Chains A and B, each alone.
Chain A
Amino acid sequence: MTKKLVVIGAGMASGRALEQLFDAAPGEYDVTLFNAEPRGNYDRIMLSPVLAGDKTYEDIVIHDSAWYEEKGVTCRFGEKVVAIDRDAKTVTAANGDVLPYDKLLFGTGSNPFIIPLPGHDLEGVIAYRDLEDTERMMSMGPDNKVVVIGGGLLGLEAAAGMAARGADVTVVHIMGHLMERQLDEAAGYLLRKALMDKGITVKCSANSKEILGKDGHVRALLLDDGTELPCDLLVMAVGIRPNVALAAEAGLAVGKGIHVDDQMVTSDADILAVGECVEHNGAIFGLVAPLYDQAKVVAKTLLGEEAQYVQKELSTKLKVTGCDLFSAGDFAEGEGREDIVFRDPSRGVYRRLVIENNVVVGAVMYGDTADSNWFFGLIRDKTDISDMRETLIFGPAFQGGAQMDPLAAVAALPRDAEICGCNGVCKGDIEDAIAAGSTDLAAIRATTKASGSCGTCTGLVEQVLAVTLGDDFVIPTSQSICACTDMTHEDVRRMIKSQELKSMAAVWQECGWKTPCGCHVCRPALNFYLLADWPLEYQDDPQSRFINERKHANIQKDGTFSVVPRMWGGITTPNELRAIADAADKYKVPTVKVTGGQRIDLLGVKGEDLPAIWADLNAAGMVSGHAYSKGLRTVKTCVGTDHCRFGTQDSTGLGIKLEKALWGSWTPHKVKLAVSGCPRNCAEATCKDVGVICVDSGYQVSVGGAAGMDVKETERLVDVHSEQEAIDVTVAFVQLYREHAKYLDRPYKFIAKVGLDWVKERVVDDLEERKALIERFELSQSIYRKDPWAQHVQDKAQTYQPLADLALEAAE
């Protein structure tokens, strides 16, 4: 007698299971197939090509009515199963029909997750799961704005599809980079770039707050930071949840999904489940490959045959034209793991392999995925790669061949990339000069002026020569930042400016970094370059800072910290001193010292106490002294006209004004100033980074002094008449230093490289440039002239505490 099989859900998984069942034993079961969607099994994956206009719905139908008829399937499409009676072995359909079963198969798939933001139930807020959603998106054209929440596979396919139809699409993603579960930062950066080229706006690290509506219809998405993104349609593609409600109501064992064993049988021996609705060994599923494996097993189980479902490695590709990416296996850094990274900035290629015990365990590729199957095979088969390790990353064709090219980054630059910032010379100009016969650095300098001024682009000019002339030009060796890159500090700084690189991942990719995420040497330097050149766009990365700058205090040899509040120009008050004394008592500070910088140091404060002591000092009106920073430290002053019989100008007042203008700014190395009231120079201004000596006629501003590892007297930059000019020249000089110096060069080293005349031209002679420098400094200060202590007390106090305290528990 034929047995009755009722199937709930006509999706891709149950569809494949039925095919297997009918192939192996036609007529064994009498099948009734319910589907909530008003249609049978179609290729859900291909909804994206349908959306993009590359396919139609008819192209993606898997089982048409002829197929169901031939197999004798009773189709109840557009009908839901609403209840199951396991004792009676019946299902109840939405219209009340009760049907008996011998075996019941769940293939209910999953539901898109909708973040319960205020406004999520407005008209025009949809998910991306079925044909209806797709048709809704297809109605969006050039006059429409769309916001997609979610920068994963689905969200990006939705975004690209609508953008292809001309809609104005913005993707909002909560994480720092796109597709973070499949891609690392570098590949995420390349993907973002490719999507932006398609006209899609991508916002990462963006938190959605509320969906705004008008007359019941979505109007805009509001982000945490107050940004409003207007939209006619809002697509949420933030993940899926196995559809388990019916199974749970029927009393089946359910966790994240419907629990199944290796035979795909649920906790009820007559009920099976397959597809995205199941949970197997703690795992749930979202790609078809594993579902098809499950379908084979479930068909065999239904026929009483032996079969076992085993989870396998998975790989991911994105179905967006022009974005070739691939990721497979596990690419997390881990126990005994090692990375091989290859980047070709000229082709926008990134490849990374993760190796463990001579076996490839993970792979991420962007740009050139031709070899992805070969790598996937190595992962799946756990092939021993020890023999091909050296050349592995180049793929099967290159075994024994190619080498990394240290010139790739420069070769990749377009002709209009500016190489020499001082003289505005582009790569194309240099190439033309070479073609016209200038074949060495001196000739290039003479004909184009490139590298003829501050000289920091010399390395890049030489590399353009090498790329253009090949073996005929030998680059003098210069020191790269660290082992992560072949480029020097100067090269990388120019690349950041001329190629508008605004994130660490962008620098790593476009400059061909050899490690996945840099090291303790390059990261702090890159962090500074990025924040100095793109103060508004780049977000400071505390994790790329040395501990002192991350915790805004100086670490001591025993792991405690020192706390130095600012004393503007060395001036303090009894109240401030009382607050410092109280803090020293309250936090049991072992040492209180007067520093060489005219202020007071509280040494030996416990890390956990930092936010509290800062809050106390803040309450008395004091802010961080940045005694720990590559930034403005102190402005020493003498008493000047206020008290001294020789004082010529208000040196204390000017010192305070300078400190208030400059504090909080980050610089390549620390910056110290002093203002003395007369040439007796009690503030030791002539050995500071910038020193001002007041004289009867005005102010002598000098720069480039040193009194640390080297001792050096400052050189005169300019004599000015007014206090404001003294401040302007100083600020402009500091900004010039911020924009051009190598990380960890004090100003005297910077000046030695570019020459004092070059500095004077910009800061003293060219008033337009002076003004522009000051404006750029002020723009940066609009972000950074804030007390980091107060900010940390407010937002980060918790991070100064231990993660957990097990001292008590361990004592038990």
Chain B
Amino acid sequence: MTNWIDIAALDDIPRRGARVVKTRQGCVAVFRTAEDEVYALDNACPHKAGPLAEGIVHGSSVTCPLHNWVISLETGQAQGADEGQVQTYPASVENGRILLDAAFLRTRQVAAE
């Protein structure tokens, strides 16, 4: 069951940008695309844990700021020749507010412990 929690206004993130949400187990990066879709992923690149929230967002991908791996925001999968995947979390927008799934974030915490 989803248990949506209100995180912030959609406009708090620029289009083609990202901000992080802090959790006890490190940061989740919340992305907003040019088309106002939001995605939530672990803020750590599968390559060397680069902070994905600082990358350049294009289409529904982000390019890691450290060594340019391109990560799909939908699947968390590294694109092209690179291999690896980041954890993704349910995220949605309702009435201009960004919602994340509390239950999922908690599972993440358990998994990390």
B-binding residues in A (CB < 8 A): 176, 184-185, 331-337, 339, 515-520, 523-524, 542-547, 550-551, 555, 557, 559, 607, 799, 802-807, 809-811
Residue from B30, B50, B56, B102 whose CB has the most chain A CB atoms within 10 Å: B56
* B56 near A810: Cβ-Cβ < 8 Å: no
Contact among B7, B57, B59, B70 with A804 in the assembled complex (CB-CB below 8 Å): B7
* B60 near A334: Cβ-Cβ < 8 Å: yes
* A333 near B59: Cβ-Cβ < 8 Å: yes
* B66 near A804: Cβ-Cβ < 8 Å: no
What are 10 of the A-B contact pairs (CB < 8 Å)?
Answer: A334-B35, A334-B60, A520-B56, A520-B70, A557-B48, A557-B66, A559-B51, A799-B14, A804-B7, A805-B22
Q: A333-B59, A803-B19, A810-B23 are in contact. Are A555 and B74 (CB under 8 A)?
A: no
* A555 near B22: Cβ-Cβ < 8 Å: no
- With the chains together, A805 CA to B34 CA distance in Å? 25
Q: A184-B35, A332-B33, A557-B66 are in contact. Are A807 and B23 (CB under 8 A)?
A: yes
* A519 near B58: Cβ-Cβ < 8 Å: yes
Q: How far apart are A559's CB and chain B's nearest CB, in angstroms?
A: 4
Which residues of chain B from 10 to 53 have a CB within 8 Å of any chain A CB? Answer: 12-17, 19-25, 27, 30, 33-37, 48-51
Q: How far apart are A640's CB and chain B's nearest CB, in angstroms?
A: 40
Q: Which residues of A contact B23 (CB under 8 A)?
A: 806-807, 810
Q: How far apart are B109's CB and chain A's nearest CB, in angstroms?
A: 6
- With the chains together, A616 CA to B89 CA distance in Å? 38
Q: Which residues of A contact B74 (CB under 8 A)?
A: 334-337
* A524 near B56: Cβ-Cβ < 8 Å: yes
* B65 near A546: Cβ-Cβ < 8 Å: yes
Contact among A334, A551, A806 with B54 in the assembled complex (CB-CB below 8 Å): A551
- With the chains together, A809 CA to B109 CA distance in Å? 12
* B35 near A332: Cβ-Cβ < 8 Å: yes
* B56 near A803: Cβ-Cβ < 8 Å: no
* A810 near B65: Cβ-Cβ < 8 Å: no
Q: How far apart are A125's CB and chain B's nearest CB, in angstroms?
A: 26
- With the chains together, A520 CA to B50 CA distance in Å? 16
- With the chains together, A516 CA to B15 CA distance in Å? 14
* A333 near B30: Cβ-Cβ < 8 Å: no
* Interface residues of B, count at CB 8 A: 46
- With the chains together, A809 CA to B21 CA distance in Å? 12
Q: How far apart are A90's CB and chain B's nearest CB, in angstroms?
A: 37
Contact among A184, A334, A520, A557 with B63 in the assembled complex (CB-CB below 8 Å): A520
- With the chains together, A559 CA to B48 CA distance in Å? 11
Residue from A334, A336, A337, A804 whose CB has the most chain B CB atoms within 10 Å: A804
* B21 near A803: Cβ-Cβ < 8 Å: yes
- Across the interface, name the chain A residue whose C-beta is closest to B26: A807
- With the chains together, A545 CA to B16 CA distance in Å? 11
Q: Which 4 A-B pairs have the closest CB atoms?
A: A520-B63, A332-B35, A803-B19, A547-B54
Q: How many pairs, one residue from A and one from B, have CB atoms within 8 Å of each other in the complex?
A: 118
Q: Which residues of A contact B33 (CB under 8 A)?
A: 332-333
* A331 near B54: Cβ-Cβ < 8 Å: no
- Across the interface, name the chain B residue whose C-beta is closest to A807: B24
- With the chains together, A607 CA to B51 CA distance in Å? 11
Q: Which residues of B contact A332 (CB under 8 A)?
A: 33, 35-37
- With the chains together, A803 CA to B55 CA distance in Å? 16
* A802 near B20: Cβ-Cβ < 8 Å: yes
Contact among A515, A546, A547 with B59 in the assembled complex (CB-CB below 8 Å): A515
Q: How far apart are A812's CB and chain B's nearest CB, in angstroms?
A: 10
* A810 near B109: Cβ-Cβ < 8 Å: yes
Q: A332-B35, A333-B37, A520-B63 are in contact. Are A810 and B106 (CB under 8 A)?
A: yes
- With the chains together, A804 CA to B9 CA distance in Å? 11
Residue from B24, B98, B102 whose CB has the most chain A CB atoms within 10 Å: B24
Contact among A331, A519, A542, A805 with B14 in the assembled complex (CB-CB below 8 Å): A542
- With the chains together, A334 CA to B32 CA distance in Å? 11
Residue from A607, A799, A802, A807 whose CB has the most chain B CB atoms within 10 Å: A802
Q: A331-B35, A334-B37, A547-B54 are in contact. Are A517 and B59 (CB under 8 A)?
A: yes
Q: Which residues of A contact B8 (CB under 8 A)?
A: 803-804
* B19 near A520: Cβ-Cβ < 8 Å: no
Q: How far apart are A507's CB and chain B's nearest CB, in angstroms?
A: 15
Q: How far apart are B56's CB and chain A's nearest CB, in angstroms?
A: 4
Q: Which residues of A contact B51 (CB under 8 A)?
A: 555, 559
Q: Which residues of A contact B75 (CB under 8 A)?
A: 336
Q: A185-B34, A557-B48 are in contact. Are A523 and B54 (CB under 8 A)?
A: no
Q: A519-B58, A524-B56 are in contact. Are A806 and B34 (CB under 8 A)?
A: no
Contact among A333, A336, A810 with B105 in the assembled complex (CB-CB below 8 Å): A810
Q: Which residues of A contact B5 (CB under 8 A)?
A: 806, 809
- With the chains together, A184 CA to B33 CA distance in Å? 12
Q: A184-B35, A811-B24 are in contact. Are A523 and B106 (CB under 8 A)?
A: no
- With the chains together, A805 CA to B19 CA distance in Å? 11
Q: How far apart are A142's CB and chain B's nearest CB, in angstroms?
A: 39
Contact among B13, B54, B58, B70 with A517 in the assembled complex (CB-CB below 8 Å): B58
Q: Which residues of B contact A336 (CB under 8 A)?
A: 74-75
- With the chains together, A557 CA to B67 CA distance in Å? 10
Residue from A333, A337, A555 whose CB has the most chain B CB atoms within 10 Å: A333
* B19 near A802: Cβ-Cβ < 8 Å: yes
- Across the interface, name the chain B residue whose C-beta is closest to A806: B23
- With the chains together, A337 CA to B59 CA distance in Å? 10
* Chain B 70-113: CB-based contact to A (< 8 A → 1; otherwise 0): 10001100000000000000000000001000100110010000
* A806 near B66: Cβ-Cβ < 8 Å: no
* B58 near A520: Cβ-Cβ < 8 Å: yes
- With the chains together, A557 CA to B44 CA distance in Å? 12
* B7 near A523: Cβ-Cβ < 8 Å: no
Q: How far apart are B61's CB and chain A's nearest CB, in angstroms?
A: 8
* B58 near A803: Cβ-Cβ < 8 Å: no
* B35 near A519: Cβ-Cβ < 8 Å: no
- With the chains together, A557 CA to B17 CA distance in Å? 20
Q: How far apart are B93's CB and chain A's nearest CB, in angstroms?
A: 10
- With the chains together, A517 CA to B34 CA distance in Å? 8
* A337 near B60: Cβ-Cβ < 8 Å: yes
* B56 near A802: Cβ-Cβ < 8 Å: no
Q: Which residues of B contact A551 (CB under 8 A)?
A: 54
Q: Which residues of B contact A339 (CB under 8 A)?
A: 59
* A333 near B20: Cβ-Cβ < 8 Å: no
Q: How far apart are B97's CB and chain A's nearest CB, in angstroms?
A: 12
Contact among A544, A547, A806 with B21 in the assembled complex (CB-CB below 8 Å): A806
* B22 near A804: Cβ-Cβ < 8 Å: yes
Q: How far apart are B106's CB and chain A's nearest CB, in angstroms?
A: 6
- Across the interface, name the chain B residue whose C-beta is closest to A354: B35
Q: How far apart are B30's CB and chain A's nearest CB, in angstroms?
A: 6
Contact among A184, A334, A547, A805 with B55 in the assembled complex (CB-CB below 8 Å): A547
- Across the interface, name the chain A residue whose C-beta is closest to B30: A803
Q: How far apart are B42's CB and chain A's nearest CB, in angstroms?
A: 13
* A518 near B24: Cβ-Cβ < 8 Å: no
- With the chains together, A811 CA to B24 CA distance in Å? 7
Q: A524-B56, A551-B54 are in contact. Are A803 and B105 (CB under 8 A)?
A: no
* B56 near A543: Cβ-Cβ < 8 Å: yes
Q: Which residues of B contact A545 (CB under 8 A)?
A: 56
Q: Which residues of A contact B17 (CB under 8 A)?
A: 542-543
* A555 near B65: Cβ-Cβ < 8 Å: yes
- With the chains together, A184 CA to B59 CA distance in Å? 12
Q: How far apart are A480's CB and chain B's nearest CB, in angstroms?
A: 16
- With the chains together, A339 CA to B60 CA distance in Å? 10
Q: How far apart are B87's CB and chain A's nearest CB, in angstroms?
A: 15
- Across the interface, name the chain B residue whose C-beta is closest to A524: B56
Q: How far apart are B32's CB and chain A's nearest CB, in angstroms?
A: 10
- With the chains together, A685 CA to B59 CA distance in Å? 44
- Across the interface, name the chain B residue whose C-beta is closest to A522: B58
- With the chains together, A184 CA to B35 CA distance in Å? 8
Q: Which residues of B contact A331 (CB under 8 A)?
A: 35
Q: A523-B58, A803-B20 are in contact. Are A333 and B7 (CB under 8 A)?
A: no
Q: How far apart are A364's CB and chain B's nearest CB, in angstroms?
A: 11
Q: Which residues of B contact A557 (CB under 8 A)?
A: 48, 66
Contact among A518, A523, A550, A802 with B22 in the assembled complex (CB-CB below 8 Å): A802
- Across the interface, name the chain B residue whose C-beta is closest to A550: B54
